[in-house]
Each structure stands twice: as structure tokens, then as C-alpha cells.
Amino acid sequence: MFGIIELSVIMLLVAGVAFLPLGYFIYMYTAKNGEPFGEIEPHGDHESPLLNAVGKVINNIKERVFK
């Protein structure tokens, strides 16, 4: 059977692995001034090529359907 010391070491290893993602998220959140993974949302400063392309496709479909 395990002794108290061995059981404590195993419990600490399991706890460390379990809380590692939380620690990483907290580290990333505090590293970038409150933005967890950097700038992920556009704030209207720049046009999005993907949104422009999707808008053109939608407008083309509307034109074909409503002719």
C-alpha cells in the first residue's frame, strides 16, 4: 500500500494536471492587459475581406432569386 508521502505526491501531480489549463488561461489573460488571446474582434476600423465576399455572394443570390 501507499504511504502518506507517496499518496500526497500523487495527489499533487493530479491536481497540477487538472488545474494547468486554468493557470494557462489566467496567465494569458493577465499577460495582454485583460485580453485573453489578443485582438480577436474587429472594432470597425478595417473592412473584412471575408465579410465582403460573403456579402457579395448573398447579394448575387438575392438578385437571381428575386428577378
pTM: 0.40
Locate all alpha helices (DSSP H) within 1-67, ordered by sequence: 4-31, 49-65
The radius of gyration of the chain's CA atoms, rounded to the nearest angstrom, is 25
Q: What is the pLDDT of residues 7-58, one digit of tens each?
A: 999 999 999 999 998 888 877 777 666 555 556 665 665 677 888 888 899 9
CA 26 to each of CA 34, 42, 62: distance values in angstroms, whole numbers, following the listed order: 10, 23, 46
